[in-house]
DNA sequence: CGGGTGGTTGATACTTATCAATGGCTGTGG
DNA sequence: CCACAGCCATTGATAAGTATCAACCACCCG
């Protein structure tokens, strides 16, 4: 017995992007390409701003449910003051800046000591831990309105790696500003604690899934979970949604290999549970998918 | 393809205690047998109180590192006021009660709506999620000084099941009292946020382990992790420590089966990494165990 | 004693990983 | 515009890791 079950992993990268990941780690944070959202052209549509860059499915920007907005710290992208005297003009209490980065770019390095708290405004991100040998566990897919982690509110280093899945727009708040406001208005802790408890529940469920659920269950649950979160943001069209995740993402989120994910998703499609084409996913048989997922 | 990979699990309990677990869930919380610690006979030894009930290894009670003590909310078991006028007599700001329950008893039910925050004072507890079909994932083993979950500080329902591994002594604080003090003294949030970030790190590592590590790694890491935490509490004797966990506990913490845990631990012992006898564990070859664990 | 719990072991089955080959797609440079 | 290189998804063959099943023994503890 050697006790080195993953030696192969270590001597030889399991995935072809490992070298990239390794090289990426010690490098300096990439300076995000700054394109202030306010400078873009937006069209008002049904009370929501529509992103003119979105090509296929119209992708709506919604800040509803965003922690920063609930805390009154951010006026949101879709809440322009009606007039100069509109109180919402003063709502943005914190210094913050909006950034947009292309897909696959790193937003935050695990060892990066950042004085900013990023909140996703648009696009799909992922938050993960990466081992030196290249194994990666994705912990969450932050969508619009999500903090990467509530821990980032208070600690400058998350220990996590955050990267963009699609093009991502995010807003950076200065932590010291937020803390100052928080300690002056402890009532804000109620809001934060809500997010905190929510995150705790999610992470408990993640551990339960990784430790005790089968591959089918994990994948089905990931799909349903994402569908639910997208629906809450108005990012679904019936049972159809944009689905930019690569099978590698699903694999790293469920603790499986990309090959096995391909096989399971193939079975799901052949069984008529889901349909996938051109980066969009449709849940065709939700009841059965829920049953497979052992949902709720 | 049936998509019911765990049907066997469901139709027939995988473990013999499942029926017990099932029956236990909907029942009313068991009223803990109250034995006030103050009524026991304690002997002062090296500045720490020694539990007279402990038979084999002397088990020291230490509140150092306990969140409640750091917050100044609890004077601790080993810090009796010297005199009536000793300021420590007034330290216990919160109404709290001490309870002792025997091993294997449930401390808190997942759906229980409790107005109390339990903190472990003595013994080993476990915090887990249990699925209706009996599968269980242990999320942590709270030891002396540990909150079950920082989420319990603010929310009345943890969603977790907490039970005693050994006989457990714990202290219950009233949440409303704690909240009142917290909001009057926001500086306490600094302490709490520290615990929170710590917990977040632990839970990230748990997910990483369950998703991406082999059985050997997971078990070795669990042992090292516990050894480190016990050492911090002065509960080790060199490389030897009390180890009350059953293999079922290790299995449910690592996402494996008890049988496989037995095989791996057998290998570890035959390879001279650890020794186990009569509920105590010795790490014989720490360097090698760390290597197997892919530690740090 | 006797029954329940817990640990060990071997045989076997199942789930998932690994390896390898293929083809589609996309972006890039000549 | 085409050729080409990467990346991605798919598929089949095979291997490894872990689970399941069953039997047995060793304890405790009542």
Q: What is the DSSP string of B228-268?
A: HHHHHTT-EETTEEE----HHHHHHHHT--HHHHHHHHHHH
**b/e sequence A245-263, b meaning 16+ C-beta within 10 Å:** bebbbbbbbbbbbbeebee
**Rounded Cα gap, residues A202 and B139, in angstroms:** 13
Interface test with B, best of A6, A128, A159, A211 (most B CBs within 10 A): A211
Q: Distance (Å, rounded) from C-alpha B140 to C-alpha B238?
A: 24
A213: which 2 tokens?
Answer: 């659920």
User: Which residue reads 């078990």 in tokens?
Assistant: B219
What is the per-residue pLDDT for B193?
84
What's the pLDDT at A72?
66
Q: Look at A267 and B1 and tell me if their CB atoms are within 8 Å.
A: yes
Sign of the four-CA dihedral B136, B139, B145, B148: negative
Spatial strand order of the sheet with B96-101 comes to B96-101, B168-174, B116-122
Mean pLDDT, chain A, whole residue set: 76
From A82-96, A125-139, A248-262, B173-187, the region with the lowest mean pLDDT: A82-96
Is residue A272 predicted with pLDDT exceeding 70? Answer: yes
Residues of chain B in contact with residue A220, where contact means CB-CB under 8 angstroms, are 3
Query: Nearest to residue A139, comparing CAs of A256, A250, A253, A21?
Result: A253
| Cα separation values, B236 from B47, B51, B70, B230, B240, Å | 17, 15, 23, 6, 6
pLDDT of amino acid B93 = 54
| Chain B residue nearest residue A218, CA to CA | B211
Q: Which of A247-261, B56-70, B234-248 has the lowest mean pLDDT?
A: B56-70
Indicate if the pLDDT at residue A281 is higher than 70.
yes
Residue A215 CA to residue A170 CA, distance in Å, equals 32
Q: Do A131 and B208 touch (CB under 8 A)?
A: yes
Task: Please report the pLDDT score of residue A62 as a whole number.
Answer: 56
Sign, CA torsion A50/A54/A59/A63: negative
List the B111 CA – C30 C1' distance (angstroms): 67
For the stretch A117-148, pLDDT in tens is: 999 989 999 999 999 999 999 999 999 989 88
Q: Would strands A60-61 and A48-50 be described as parallel, antiparallel, or unpaired?
A: antiparallel
C-alpha A264/C-alpha B3 separation (Å) is 10
Query: What is the mean predicted confidence (pLDDT) over A253-261?
Result: 98
Whole-number pLDDT of residue A46: 24
- Looking at the whole model, is its pTM more than 0.85? no
The reply to whether residue B207 touches residue A208, judged by beta carbons under 8 angstroms, is no
What average pLDDT score do residues A163-188 get? 84
Strand partners, B242: B280
| Structure confidence by residue, pLDDT tens digits, B240-279 | 999 999 999 999 999 999 999 999 999 999 999 999 988 9
- pLDDT tens digits along B178-225: 888 777 777 777 778 888 899 999 999 999 999 999 999 999 999 999
């Amino acid at each position: 017995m050697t006790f080195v079950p993953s030696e192969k992993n270590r001597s030889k990268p399991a995935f072809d992007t490992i070298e990239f990941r390794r090289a990426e780690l010690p490098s300096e944070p990439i300076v995000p390409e700054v394109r202030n959202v306010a400078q873009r052209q937006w069209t008002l549509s049904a009370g929501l701003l529509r992103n003119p860059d979105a090509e296929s499915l119209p992708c709506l920007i919604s800040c509803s449910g965003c922690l920063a907005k609930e805390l009154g710290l951010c006026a949101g992208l879709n809440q322009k003051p009606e007039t100069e005297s509109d109180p919402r003009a003063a709502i943005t209490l914190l210094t913050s800046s909006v950034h947009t980065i292309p897909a696959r770019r790193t937003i935050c390095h695990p060892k990066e000591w950042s004085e900013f708290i990023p909140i996703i405004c648009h696009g799909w991100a992922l938050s993960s831990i990466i081992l030196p040998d290249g194994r990666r566990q994705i912990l969450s897919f932050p969508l619009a309105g999500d903090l990467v982690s509530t821990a980032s509110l208070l600690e400058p280093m998350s220990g996590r790696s955050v990267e963009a899945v699609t093009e991502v727009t995010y807003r950076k708040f200065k932590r010291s500003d937020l803390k100052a406001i928080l300690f002056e208005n402890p009532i804000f802790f109620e809001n934060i604690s809500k997010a905190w408890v929510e995150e705790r529940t999610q992470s408990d469920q993640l551990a339960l899934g990784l430790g005790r659920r089968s591959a089918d269950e994990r994948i089905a649950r990931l799909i349903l979970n994402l569908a639910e979160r997208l629906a809450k943001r108005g990012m679904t069209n019936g049972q159809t949604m944009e689905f930019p995740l690569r099978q590698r993402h699903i694999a790293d989120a469920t603790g499986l290999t990309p090959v096995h994910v391909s096989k399971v998703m193939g079975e799901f499609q052949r069984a008529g549970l889901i349909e996938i084409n051109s980066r969009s996913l449709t849940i065709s048989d939700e009841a059965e998918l829920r049953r497979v997922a052992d949902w709720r």
